[in-house]
Each structure stands twice: as structure tokens, then as C-alpha cells.
Structure 1
Amino acid sequence: MNLLEDDTALVEAVAEKPKGGTALFDGDSGSLPLDARRALCLLLAGPSLDAGRYSQLWTALLRHEAALRSRLCDLFLELVIDREGGVAFTRQFDTGELDTPVLLRTSPLTFIDSVLLLYLRQQLAEAEAHGHRAVVEEASLVDALSVYEKSVSTDRAGFAKRVAGAITKMKDNHVLDKLRGSDDRYEVSPALKLLFSAEDVQALAQAYRELREADEGQEKPDGE
């Protein structure tokens, strides 16, 4: 092998070696340190990365923000960060007419799902106004939704099943995270405030308020 061939082999070897010597396992060609990779995985798994719950990963996210944004862009995903609120999540980029795959899961919302999301968003806003995290009990969620029973179904058992299904959907999508040591208390994901603006909350609240009042008016006897 001549000198030129030796130089070519050396260049190829250096190119294949992860930058900064960050290889974590045999065959690893990644360039991000461990915590940054874990932050990336959490963002992809969703729904959000919360600074309060994952302080070490939040620090890694901010330190390697440019690299993480680049990797997410390769997947047509946008990184959204609320530095003041300490929460980040990913969403599909608006790529216009470009035909791109959709990697993020979507969950169609029923009426009860949307009402529950609105209630949780309001609880989050109230908790943050007082400087603490939003924690709800499952019984309080059932009570909050019960006022819409007439709007959805006259079958009480059927309505209870829909409410249970909506709560389960919030758990499965990590909008509600069970607190340790509790069977019926959950923390509301801070990401909700980024998904629903204050204007969205006001508009939805007004629409549901009018619907509830219309149902209550139908229950009153004529002449009252």
C-alpha cells in the first residue's frame, strides 16, 4: 500500500469516527452525548420534555439545541421550546406542497375528549397562576364532565363509559401522568399551554358554555 492509499484510509477512518469521541457502544456513529440522545428520544416519544421532571435532560436539550433541531428537521419535525415555562415538544413542520411522511401519532378527539382537554388546560392555567404544578383527581374530572351528559347521551352508563375512555386517552398520550404513590391523582402536562392558547381556551369555553345552557333550558318546563 502506497502513501496516498494510507492517507485515504486514514481520512476514511477519521470520517467514520463519532465527533468528540462520543461513541457509547460498538458500532455507534452518533455524535451527541448520552443525555442529549435521551432528550431526543423523549421528544420523539412525546408528548413533551418537562424541565421540572427531567432537569438533567432539559439542560442537555438547551446545550445541544442546534444539533437536536437539525436531527428533528431531518424527520420533518419542529422543536418547540418554552424556556420560561420549562417545556418542549415536537410537531410536524408545515412543508407546504412538499410530500413528506407524518411520523407523529394523531388521536381523533370526541366531544368529551375536547371538553376534558379544555378543563385540564384551565386547571393548568390556574395552577401556574399560583406558582405550582397542576394536579387533578380522577373523581374531579368525572364531576367536571358530568354537566355535559345531556349533550352527549341520555344513557348514564354509556356516558360514564365515554368519560372513562376520554380519561384513559389522556393517560395514554401522557397529557395526564399518574403521581407516584397515588391511584387517582395525576399531573397535567405543561405542554397543554403550548397546544391551546388563551384565545383558544376562551373560544372553546364560550362554545361549551352556550351548549350547556341550551341543554339546561330544554329541561325547564314551559312558562318558567
Structure 2
Amino acid sequence: MVTGKSDQELHAEDDEENSVLAGDSHASDDQTSKAPNGGFEDQSVESDGLGLITESVRSSDSDMPHDARRVLVHLMRQGSVMASQKPKLFEQLCRYELAIRKHLSEVYLQLVLDQKSGVAFVASIASEHVGNVDDDGLEDEAADSYESATLIPKRTLSLFDTLILLVLRKHYQDRESAGEQKITIDIERLESYLTPFLPITDHASKDRKKLLVRVKEMVKRKVLSTIRGEEDRYEITPIIRYVVNAGFLETMLAEYTALAQEQLNETDLVGSDQK
């Protein structure tokens, strides 16, 4: 087709037309990116460096205040909060108690809070929907259902652990009755409390190394707390009250004392017969 224009002029017009088309395309993209996003204005789109697009939400769906969520995270990680160790955190826990209780109950957990003693910890609760079976043959399945419905698995204590808890509770009760606020115990005292029960334990003599291992486990479980600068002395936390009931304490100590004495008498009898 003859247009009366030179080849140079025709190329210039083509370049200008392509430039306009590219400009329209970018403008369309800008309009799309600025268009309302249907109520998701708080979302931003980011690249994760691998070519994948991820969305980061600035706002949270949770109706819990930030401080309440901080306390909740600490409880889920550590299992307890002590006012003596974390005063600000404990204060916030008391402030947002209802919200924290509600959240924990949704995962079959309960908050045990003793403001007077300054202790709070998480414990399991049995769901009304767990263990409801019509057939006796499904008892094992019900037990499995309970285990899968709690974040705190059941744990069977050894005789040695049980005896440690009993003598710690006894010491705590006696010192508390005497008016002490901060109740401590050292390893030597703990060993002396356990000595009468040696006949029914699995070791024939004192074994401090084994005792120290169990004490470290008690520290991990927040029953005991280390004291700065005192390697062999520990503070007994108020949690011991809830681990060992006062009425249960006296009954069990009496039974284990009688059992240990019986075992000792049998050992002495066997020794005299051998002579």
C-alpha cells in the first residue's frame, strides 16, 4: 500500500504505537493492584525469595490482647508461672484469667491459679466426649482417645519419685506450719528423710548421684526451684500442694513406713537364720 511516507517514518510510527500499548498494559496493572480487595486491606503480598508468593496478615484473628497471648504462650511452653520468678507475667495472667481459661478449655486443659501463693499452672481435664463407650470391649480405644485428647500425657511415678514427693510435701507442710514463707531444703536433709525407706527402694545404700538426677527432674517439673549461689539447696514451690494432697500424704507415709519396717524385719530375720 502506498502511503507517501518514507520507511524511516513508518518505523517511527510503529515504535510509538508499541510504546503506547506497553504503557496501557502497565496502567492496567497499576489499577488492578490499587483496586479494592474485598475487605482484605490488611493483607500484603510478599515474595519469599524462592519465587513463591506469600500473604502476611498485619491484623490478627485473635480477640485476645497481646499481653494475654504472651502469658498463654509461656504457660503452654513452661507449664506454670510463679509470681516470685515472673511477677509481671503473673500479674498479667491474673488480669486476663478468664480469656486464658477459655482458650485452655478448648484443648482440654485447665488453669489452676492460686493468687495467694503466687502460683499458676496448667493441668489436664477429662472431656465429657472422651471415654463415652457403650461396649466394654472398647475400653482400650477409650483410653487411647483420652490420650489423644490431652496435651499432657499421663505419667506413672516410680516408687523412688513417689517417696521424694512425699518427704518434700511433709517438709513443706511442717515448715509452712512454723510460719516460714520461703521453704527450702538441701540434699543432705532430703537424703536423711529417705533413709528410713531404703529397704523398699531398689538400691541398698544411699545413692546421691541417682537422687540428684531425680531432683533435677523435680526442678524441670517446677516442684523444686534452684537457688542462685547455693548448688545443693532448693526451694520447694507451692505446686507441691497440688501434687500431693495433705490427707493423702499422711496415709501414704504411714503405709510406706510400715512396709519399710516390715521389709527390714524380714531382712534381719533372714540374716539371723543364716548365722
Query: TM-score normalised by the shorter chain: which range applies?
Result: 0.7 to 0.9
Aligned ranges 1:54-73 → 2 under 5 Å: 54-73=86-105
Q: Does 1:218 align with 2:250?
A: no
- Partners of 1:170 and 1:49 lie apart in 2 by 16
2:251 to 203, 206, 220: 203
Partner of 2:25: none
Unaligned runs of 5+ in 1: 17-25
Partner of 2:228: 180
Aligned ranges 1:70-219 → 2 under 5 Å: 70-98=102-130, 99=145, 100-129=148-177, 130-153=179-202, 155-156=204-205, 159-219=207-267
For 1:136-170, what per-residue CA distance to the aligned partner results, in whole angstroms no more than 9, with x for missing partners? 1122222222222221245437x555434322321
Larger radius of gyration: 2
Q: Flag the 1:13–1:7 CA change in 2: closer, same or farther, 3 A.
A: closer
**Per-residue deviation, 1:114:** 0.3
Unaligned runs of 5+ in 2: 1-30, 44-56, 131-144
**Per-residue deviation, 1:106:** 4.4
**Per-residue deviation, 1:82:** 1.9
**Per-residue deviation, 1:111:** 0.6
Query: Are 1:137 and 1:185, in contact at CA under 8 Å, matched by a contact in 2?
Result: yes
- Partners of 1:53 and 1:126 lie apart in 2 by 24
- Partners of 1:154 and 1:194 lie apart in 2 by 29
Query: Are 2:196 and 2:257, in contact at CA under 8 Å, matched by a contact in 1?
Result: no
Query: Are 1:50 and 1:87, in contact at CA under 8 Å, matched by a contact in 2?
Result: yes
**Per-residue deviation, 1:191:** 0.9
Q: Does 1:42 align with 2:89?
A: no
Query: Are 1:145 and 1:163, in contact at CA under 8 Å, matched by a contact in 2?
Result: no
| TM-score normalised over the length of structure 2 | 0.64
| SS of structure 2 residue aligned to 1:147 | helix
Q: What's the RMSD between the two structures over aligned residues?
A: 3.0
Q: Flag the 1:57–1:215 CA change in 2: closer, same or farther, 3 A.
A: same
Output the amino acid matched with 1:81. L
Structure 1 vs Structure 2: percent identity of aligned residues? 24
Output the amino acid matched with 2:227. L
**Per-residue deviation, 1:190:** 0.9
| SS of structure 2 residue aligned to 1:57 | helix
Query: Are 2:225 and 2:234, in contact at CA under 8 Å, matched by a contact in 1?
Result: yes
**Per-residue deviation, 1:56:** 1.3
For 1:180-212, what per-residue CA distance to the aligned partner results, in whole angstroms no more than 9, with x for missing partners? 112111111211102222111111111112122
Work out the number of aligned pairs and report it: 207
